[in-house]
Structure 1
Amino acid sequence: MAKSRMAPGEEDLAPRYRDVRALSEALAAGLSDADATVQSMADASPAKWHLAHSSWFFETFVLRDHAADYQPFDPRFAYLFNSYYEGEGPRHARPLRGLLTRPSLDDILRYRAHVDAALLAALPDMGAQAQTLVALGLHHEQQHQELLLTDIQHLFSINPLEPALFDAPNDMPAALPGPIHWIEGRQGLVEIGDDGRTDFAFDCEGPRHKALLHPHALAHRPVTNAEWISFIDDGGYRDPAHWLSDGWAWVQAEGIEAPLYWRHEPQGWTRFGLDGRKPVNPAAPVCHISLYEADAYARWAGARLPTEEEWESGAQNVAPISGNQLDGPTCPRPQATDGGAALTRMFGDVWEWTGSAYRPYPGFQADEGAVGEYNGKFMSGQFVLKGGSCATPRGHVRASYRNFFYPHQRWQFTGLRLAKDL
């Protein structure tokens, strides 16, 4: 569940609730009912489902138990828009969400309005437990805001028309950043995990605990598209020596030759984004790569992926609201040339793969009940990513934040930063 150290008062939660809920609808404002209904793959969900599921969360975990006389908008939605909460009973199969032509997008927006009116009316009388659940629901909805965008991008990418969700000009030419500089990290015992300094953290970010760091250094910036093209040109996708066994099998089975959404054309590499198909900007961070690709590149470059503990230790004094996050063009931006004296761009642009498995910290215990299924049940077979992306709502991430995906997945804004032993 969540750890909320300040039970926010209604005067704090109400405007935040309105802002978060409004942003979700603004992100979907350019979609037709058809756009919002279709599902492009089993890993993705329709925009309509994201809008409804985030409302289901408030209805199920807050209004049902903490709002007197609440009447559900439609009792059938409890089945349609549950995601994976076994404690809440059966649900519509995830791969079939794109077949829900009804309810319509307009119906979902009315559902959201119904939930919003009920929650805002009940909020002044809610106790600390309910307010903590509201805070969890808002952070949960911010996660779905990013997923809504990445799922729409994947959907539009398989449309031969390659429509753009947002209009944006081509990137202006930018100087390539200088070579990577290595920033030596802390050594010995360090403290990792939620430190209690923020108002909110997910349960999987704690408990705070000690970790042993061996001599190491982190690259001062993420890997760029230009550097990735060098990897491609050097046969990186054709040489099994760089790849984990599972990764090489994936490359062979799927015919992988470049990051997702890249295409080689007579004029050079192009990529597809929420702003349509554009030339690959050599100075921007590479994104839409799997853990397998990130690991192979690191081996090719004579380096490795950072551990979760190394990355978090390095980022602890970097402002998490910095960087390119979801309040501007939703694509990684060219990297400014810098002297390389410090770690840069730790937050925003791309989620950075680590070499660490997503497993519980020492002493972690999931809460009882359905809400306790939020994070702990997924601690198997996935890897941790850190730092947020250009599609992450600003203010949502922190150094201790743990994102996680399976090693083959790459439809998120995923990139990498190199590490090495000293």
Structure 2
Amino acid sequence: MMKKTRTLLFCLLLFFVLIVSLPLILPLNSYKPQLEKRLSTLLQAKVQLENIEFTYQPLPFFALNGIKIDEGAGKIEQIRIPLNFFNLFKYGKSLKNVEVEGVHLSPALAFSLPKRFAALEQDRITLGDVVLTKASVILEQGELGPIDGVMKFAQNGAMADLQLADKQGHIEVHLKPKGDNVGLTVQATSWELPLGYPIVFERLYMSGEGSPEGLVIDDIRGESYGGVLSGKAQLTKQTEWNLQGQLVAKGVHTEPLSKIFSPATFVSGRMDAEAQFNYRAADYLKLFAHPAIDAQFLVREGAVHNLDLVAQLRAGETPAGRGGQTRFDTLKGKMVMRDRSVQLQSMVLEAGKFNAQGAVQTGGSTLNGAVSARLKAGVLVISNQIRIGGNLTSPTLSSGSAARGGALPSPTEMIETPL
């Protein structure tokens, strides 16, 4: 019994030594034509290999280097195939634990991969989960990526799901075949969406459908600054990239949100809003460099901080100074964002016996605008126009009087609205 056991162990050891030594004996690059043909069949494209090598560390694996697909439509820096018992015994039929590094694909090739895998019914090599690192999509200018992920396949060998995620764990993307197109779902937590301003979403879910012509996102749901969001969007590419869509927000805390645009002169309260956005750029990587957003908003039971309009109105022609706040029951208006300029137009502030109408604009670190204010106290009614100027950290107020011939222009005249 002991003799048989030793013989078995000796045979296994000999087999292992033979397998490990085989790559050192065989001329691996002589198999390039066969591998190129097999990969070409798998990807339904012309594939060329630069070379094949074998390494023992960190674990034994074959490396296919410098893969070119369809004369530059795509390239892969390296495919690693581990030397394990499963891959040896299933040679030519199935592979597991394959790793692919440095994937660079054109949009057309990337979107066609699920269809190419599904079209291959015979002579198929079934794959387990394929780990992707440094994957990106080649654009006319620059690349979209890199990002890491896992490509999953069904039992029949067709592509089932492509999972992508950032290293910080803030965003996860799923791509699944959907006819000739690709179904898309995005889930994110504590994620700063690149809208041109550092707006953070506590939670965000998006789903839609992509094709080489563009992307339609028909369901957007999320939470941001204590409020809930919903909306739709569409990304297209003709002569330039164009992203447009709508968002509806309810119950948003305006204090942290407004501080993004104006850190000292900000607004507190709860806001409902409806916004339309439209981003355009020749280069996808610069798509969010020029924000273009129009929004109607209503803020309830809050205050404008570092601006005391009531004190200024009571002071008449004497400047009331800086600081303080203007409390309100409701504040509504329209916000227009163009590049780094934010305009608040057609604003109406209601606070009991005090009300004001006006428009304000910020650009860089400056703040300017005009407000028509009215305060009723018993039979006495005080009304005047107030000019707002200075920088965002230290705004100044001054009053104008028509009786003295120094009336200010109306708020709608003072703030231009280039839509």
TM range (shorter): under 0.3
Q: Which has the higher helix share?
A: 1
The structure that has the greater radius of gyration is 2
Task: Considering Cα pairs closer than 8 Å and 6+ residues apart, tell me whether 1 or 2 has the greater RCO.
Answer: 1
Q: TM-score, normalised by structure 1?
A: 0.20
Q: Which has the higher strand share?
A: 2
